[in-house]
Structures are given as structure tokens and as C-alpha cells.
Amino acid sequence: MKYADIIIDISHERLDKTFEYIVPTKLEDQVSEGMQVVIPFGKGDRAITGYVVGLHDKPGFDITKLKPIARVVKDSIAIESQLISLAAFLKRNYGSTMNQALKTVIPIKKKENEKLKKEISLAIPLEQAKIELTELLTKKNHAVGKERLLRELLEVDVLDWELATKKLQVPTANIRVLEKKGIVRIESVRAFRNPHINKSAQAKQITLNQQQEAAAEQIKADIDTGRSKTYLIHGVTGSGKTEVYMDVMEHVINMGKQVIVLIPEIALTYQTVMRFYTRFGDKVSILNSRMSPGERFDQFERAKAGEISIMVGPRSALFTPFANLGLIIIDEEHESSYKSEVVPRYHARETAVYRAKLSGATVILGSATPSLEAYSRATSGEYQLITLENRAKGQDMAKCEIIDLRQELQSGNRSMISRRLMELMADRLEKHQQIMLFLNRRGLMGFVSCRACGHVLKCPHCDVALHLHKDGTMKCHYCGYTTKAAKVCPSCGSKYIGSFRAGTQRLEEIVKQAFPQARVLRMDADTTKGKDGHEEILSAFAAHEADVLIGTQMIVKGHDFANVTLVGIIAADISLNESDYHSGERTFQLLTQAVGRAGRGDEPGVAVIQTYQPENYAVLTAAAQDYSEFYKQEFAYRKLLSYPPCSHILGIQVACDKQADAIAQADILAGIIRQTDPEIVIMGPEDAYLAKLKDVYRRVIYLKADDYDRLVAVKDTIDKFLLEQKQYRNTTTWFDFDPINTL
């Protein structure tokens, strides 16, 4: 007799429990881990569905109390046990219910969700269709829907069903009538296919240079001898990391294995995607966040069926159900989008390493600015470090100039653009070269600084910037420290003190004013709203339809514009003063990436970094493009203050629409933590960074510990408590391990 642990298909933290059922003999060879089954549940034996998450030979309960599984759900997706194990990993390490974890790993459960797209086309020759339309128009009170449909089909070959019924508002009945008369044809096509590949876009034949070759050979040699390791490729911007990935990918595919390539959503542009397509053709499939669940499902099905061998996509592509996974690549490994912002708040890096372990696959992480986490593991030998020191075609890195904005103010320039940057811009415009101006979106967050001396007001307890609140106070978002907003700079006495606000729109105005003849493009959340907004702006800039591209961090990622010879970073400090211990790292990354956009072609590049803190280590090391120096200083800082990767942080958030209950519940949890682990470092409970969101109040507790498992133990204790707690059931609690953003 076999027994199954079954999880009920309801996502609620208090239902986080498995139930044991008997596997009837007749179902024994049908039931496997991950299968969806129907079971009798509760007093009335209500038929409900659940997942099999475990199978064993010995019952865990009194056998007379166990009920049998009723049946297996036909067409249910068999979740590979590997993926279930991955879900268990997410649940354990990041905090969630098994159900939430399963849903992360298996986003779509039922086949019905698979959408067939319908298309309408003419079933008769065009000329005849014109006659049909004319006839229709002669009739009084003819159906407008029919008219619209025919008119449209005279213009286009095929019409999307959704488009016809929604946008053109053609009633379904009208379409059906025309179909019956044999005028139009309705065909079902699979919802998502690869983009049409332009056959002329043949892959450029690229021969790896010496450093690329050495990197690829080292990894391939390990793969051939059956050693699956994790590599960190630290390669300067433009060093040709992608070519190294593709070389190893080809090797792995030739072994009959599959590859997952994670790239940040923001870099999922036509340019990048086409590089994979032109090299690997139909073997490649792409996931992106704009896809409907059905389209996503379709791609996962193709992966399972062995129709494709490469999945390129953001974080969630990690769960592609490849049966024989050989390689996972995480490009731009340092990107914060690899950490999930919803429960379970997993990090793709750690999860990839775990998934690779399960299937004996290799992991390659790549970055010009590796995260402290990855680099510290590489230096400790946990990951293999591979360095690409030079640009692929031997171009020099851009020359950097640091402009002290305090001096600009002193000499009377209150503009966002320094005199030196103006001068260089004029020169580049004259030479018909292109310019990128970069402004951090996070600039809209209001940290308080002095425009005369650059002094930033910081929390005395946390060494992070204080934020100005509307009520006239300044607050630390880490520990809750609050003080009255300063009127004069405590460092130099100047009145020019306040929160720094500057937007891309304002910058655009300034540039247009100063250079009326320049063609300016702006790329930010406002201008990229449309589906292909990104693409349009980037291609226009690539085609030199504009001289200046102004943008947020969107423009610094992975684009290769050969004609850009000047990059201006308008205010480097903005990210430096986020109230978050990552701010130095983020600043260094952004500056390095931005500087890396300049001088990719034949002409050398210059980058101008404008800052109030020219002496800051992140600014200085980025300007010198000296990652190891940055790492040394940043690591020392993390060590000193026990921040990751030198230690671990667990954020616990309690939310409730009743403020008093949120406060009370957070206090109760804090008490439990103190009982469970009296020595652990607790910060809070405090109001969360967004203390109230959509009328829900949020309290947060932070814990610090060197040992990750110690935090996991606290999480488990709290989980158990919540399961049994009778009071405050109107509150919601969630966990965030090593949070990337302030909760």
C-alpha cells in the first residue's frame, strides 16, 4: 500500500499543510509526485483537488482514519519531482506556503488555460469580397459589424479574433454568419510562436578572442569531465561575455541537454534576443512578463515536449520544465530584478544554484559589476572566478571626469548640467556624435542634502540617509529614528538644504533650451508605456535619428551604440543616498554600466560624472573602473555593520487594515522571537517604509544573524505560531530574507 501527502489547492498561509491519503491499488501506477488528484475532503467528503507532494510506503497516521484518493485529474500537469523539490527549497529558505511555492514553480496548472488564438481571413477572392461588401451596403439596416469586418479584411490578410471582437466590436454572431456563408474563414492557431526570423540576419561569424576562448574552454572542460560548478564571469562592459555564454551553450546543446538563460527584463530587448535567435534559431524560446499566462504555459509545454532547448527570459524562466537541464546562465547577475518582490521572495541566483545541483547542471553568472554576494563566494572558492579584463575588440574604456557640483553652485551655476558637460555636449553635437544623459529614477526619493557642501543628513544609528516626510520630519527607514527637518546645514550652515528632486522631463527641457538644434529622445516610465515603447526609442537612437538620449537606468543596460562618445551622469549621488545599505553598490554598478556605454565604437569615449560627493569611494572607484578596490572597501563596510553578505537579514512584515492590530501583532511576534532566540539582533518593530499602503498598515521587524539557518529557524517558529494563533487572524505576515529594498 502507498500513501500520498497531498496539498490542497488553496493558497492561504493557514492551509499550509499536507494531508495524507491512501493511494488505491488501481491508481498506484498512475499517481506520482506532482500529479493533480481529486480527494474527498472534510466531514461531507467534498470532492476537491490537490497536488501530490510526496509518496511513501508507511502511513504517518492511524490507517483507519485515512481516506483514499478518488481519481487522478486527467490532463493535469505532472510536476517533475525536481520542481517540487525546488518548491520545497523556496518554502524553506524564503518563507511561503508550499502552495505559494508550487504556484511560483508551476505558474499554470490546468490545460484549459492554454489559449488557442483564432484568426479570421477571407475565404473568397478579394474581388468577390468587394462585391459582397457593396451588396451588403445596399441593404437597409445591414449589420454594421459585418460591414466593419469586411472592410477590415479588404485591408489585411488575417485579422485577430480578439481584435475583431474587442477593438472593432464585431459581434460574434456576425462573424459566424459570414463564416456559414463561406465568406470568411476562422482558424485556430497556437497562441505564441517565435518571432519571425529575418533570414538575412545571419549570425555574424565571431571568433572568440584569447581571453574569451580561455574562459569558455575552462568551463567546457569541467562539463566534459562531469563536474558541475558555478562560475562567475567578471568581465568589463563590452568584454564579450555573451559570446562566451553562447559558445558554452552550443557545447551543452550538442550533448543533448538544455539551457536556461536569465536576463533582466529591462535587457530583454530585440537586440539581445536576436543574438540568441540568429545563433540558435528555432531551438530558442523567449519568455517575458508581457506574456499572458496561456502563452507562458505554451512555452513551458514546448520545453517539456523537447521542441526547444534554450529558454531565454527573466527570473521566472528558471522554472522551465526541461527534463535534462545542462546549463543555467544568469547575465547581469547583480541586477535586483533577480530577487522576487512577491512571496516567496526568492533570489534567482541561489535558486539557480539549487536547481542546477538537482539536475547536475552548470551555472554561469556574468557581470561587469558582480554583486558582493557573488564576488565574495568567488573569492572564497565556492564559485569559480573567471575574469575578462579587456573589451572584446580591444577598445579602450571610456575616460572619466568627475565634476564637483558644490563648486558649480559656488560659481553661480544652478543648472542640472555643469559647464564642463555643456562644453563636451556642444563639441559632440558639432561632430555628429551621440550623447547619453543618465538620471537615476530613484532621484524622486527625497533624501535631504545640502547643495552648498553636499552634506547628507544621516541616521545616527544606521549610517543611511534620512528621508524628508510631508509632516516636516526626517526619518530613518531602517530603525525609525525621527527628527525635525533641518533648516540649515549642520555641516556648513548654508540654507540651501532640502530634498533633491529632479526628473528626466526637466532635464529634457534644459537640453532643448541649450541646444535647440539637437534632436532629443527621452526614455523613462512615461515614454515607454506602449508595448514596444522601449524598442522604438532604442532603435531610433541606434539609427541615429536622435543626437541625445535622456533616460533613467533603463538606458544603461546592455545596449551597444557604437556612435555614443559622451555619457553624462547628472547626479551620481542620488543612488548613493538611498536609505539602504546597498546604496554604495548600486551607485557603483550604475556608474560603471553608464560609463560603459561610451566609446564602444571606433571613437574613444568620455564619461562625465556629476556629484556632490567627489570623494566618495563608490564614485571614485567607478570613475577609475576599479572593481576590486570598490569591492575591498564595500566589503569592509558590510563587515563592520554586519550587512549581507557578511551576515544575513530577515525582514518580517505584518500588515493589517487596523493599525492597532498590526502594531499588536508585530509586538507579539517580536516577543516570540526574543523567546526563541534571545541572542539574536532585533531591530523594530517599526513602521514599514511605506507605513500605509492602500489603507493597509505595515509594521516591520528586522533580524540580523551570521547564520542563515538561524533566521530560517525563527521563521519556522513564527509560521508554527501563526498556524495555531487564534487572535489577530486579520493580520498577514510575510518574510523577506536578505531584502534588496527597504521594507
List residues bridging with 682 in a β-sheet: 703
Min CB(455)–Zn ion separation in Å: 4
Would you call 32 exposed, middle or buried from its count of C-beta atoms within 10 A (0-12, 13-18, 19+)?
middle
Return the sign of the alpha-carbon dihedral for residues 703, 706, 710, 711: positive
Please answer whether residues 135 and 52 qualify as being in contact, where contact means their C-beta atoms are separated by less than 8 angstroms: no
Q: What residue 240 binds from ligand ADP, Zn ion, none (CB within 5 to 8 A, per partner kind)? A: ligand ADP
Return d(Cα 21, Cα 482) in angstroms, integer.
55
Min CB(207)–ligand ADP separation in Å: 6
Q: What residue 219 binds from Zn ion, ligand ADP, none (CB within 5 to 8 A, per partner kind)? A: none
Residues 547-606 that bind ligand ADP (CB under 6 A): 560
Residues 190-209 that bind ligand ADP (CB under 6 A): 206-209
Residues 229-248 that bind ligand ADP (CB under 6 A): 235, 237-243
Hey, which bits of 337-382 come out as E strands? Answer: 362-367
Return d(Cα 692, Cα 696) in angstroms, integer.
5
| Secondary structure (3-state) at 685 | strand
Q: Which is nearer to Zn ion, 268 or 489 (CB)?
A: 489
Min CB(600)–ligand ADP separation in Å: 7
Return d(Cα 563, Cα 535) in angstroms, integer.
18
Return d(Cα 301, Cα 503) in angstroms, integer.
44
Binding site for Zn ion (CB under 5 A): 450, 452-453, 455, 459, 461-462, 476, 478-479, 481, 489, 491-492, 494
Min CB(236)–ligand ADP separation in Å: 7
Return d(Cα 221, Cα 224) in angstroms, integer.
5
Q: Alpha helix locations (H) across 557-658?
A: 573-576, 583-595, 617-623, 627-641
Q: Which is nearer to ligand ADP, 158 or 385 (CB)?
A: 385
Q: What residue 453 binds from Zn ion, ligand ADP, none (CB within 5 to 8 A, per partner kind)? A: Zn ion
Q: Which is nearer to ligand ADP, 392 or 521 (CB)?
A: 392
433 alpha carbon, distance to own chain's centre: 33
Contact flag: residue 211 with ligand ADP (CB under 6 A)? no
Q: Which is nearer to Zn ion, 354 or 481 (CB)?
A: 481
Among 175, 219, 378, 392, binds ligand ADP (CB under 6 A): 392
Q: What residue 481 binds from ligand ADP, Zn ion, none (CB within 5 to 8 A, per partner kind)? A: Zn ion
Q: What residue 605 binds from ligand ADP, Zn ion, none (CB within 5 to 8 A, per partner kind)? A: none
Min CB(366)–ligand ADP separation in Å: 7
Residues contacting residue 449 through CB under 8 Å, at least 6 positions apart: 455, 456, 457, 465, 497, 498, 499, 500, 573, 577, 612
Contact flag: residue 393 with ligand ADP (CB under 6 A)? yes
Q: What is the DSSP letter of 73?
A: P
Q: What residue 209 binds from Zn ion, ligand ADP, none (CB within 5 to 8 A, per partner kind)? A: ligand ADP
Cα torsion at 456, 442, 649, 360 (round to 10°)?
Answer: -140
Q: Which is nearer to ligand ADP, 370 or 739 (CB)?
A: 370
Min CB(474)–Zn ion separation in Å: 11
Q: What residue 583 binds from ligand ADP, Zn ion, none (CB within 5 to 8 A, per partner kind)? A: none
Min CB(699)–Zn ion separation in Å: 16
Residues contacting residue 64 through CB under 8 Å, at least 6 positions apart: none
Nearest to 496 by CA among 576, 580, 420, 405: 405
Q: Which is nearer to ligand ADP, 217 or 404 (CB)?
A: 217
Binding-site residue total for ligand ADP (CB under 6 A)?
16
Return d(Cα 122, Cα 159) in angstroms, integer.
9
Q: What residue 241 binds from Zn ion, ligand ADP, none (CB within 5 to 8 A, per partner kind)? A: ligand ADP
Return d(Cα 659, Cα 696) in angstroms, integer.
8
Cα angle 282, 288, 289 (rounded to 5 degrees) comes to 160
Q: What residue 235 binds from ligand ADP, Zn ion, none (CB within 5 to 8 A, per partner kind)? A: ligand ADP
Return d(Cα 26, Cα 210) in angstroms, integer.
61
Q: What residue 538 binds from Zn ion, ligand ADP, none (CB within 5 to 8 A, per partner kind)? A: none
List residues bridging with 329 in a β-sheet: 261, 364
Q: Which is nearer to Zn ion, 85 or 494 (CB)?
A: 494
| Secondary structure (3-state) at 594 | helix
Min CB(689)–ligand ADP separation in Å: 33
Q: What residue 653 binds from Zn ion, ligand ADP, none (CB within 5 to 8 A, per partner kind)? A: none
From residue 225, how far is each of 233, 354, 592 by CA, in Å? 20, 20, 36
Residues 296-335 that bind ligand ADP (CB under 6 A): none
Min CB(300)–Zn ion separation in Å: 44
Contact flag: residue 50 with ligand ADP (CB under 6 A)? no
Place of cell 575578462: 388
Return d(Cα 138, Cα 482) in angstroms, integer.
77
Min CB(687)–Zn ion separation in Å: 13
Min CB(241)–ligand ADP separation in Å: 4
Residues near ligand ADP (CB under 6 A) are 206-209, 212, 235, 237-243, 392-393, 560
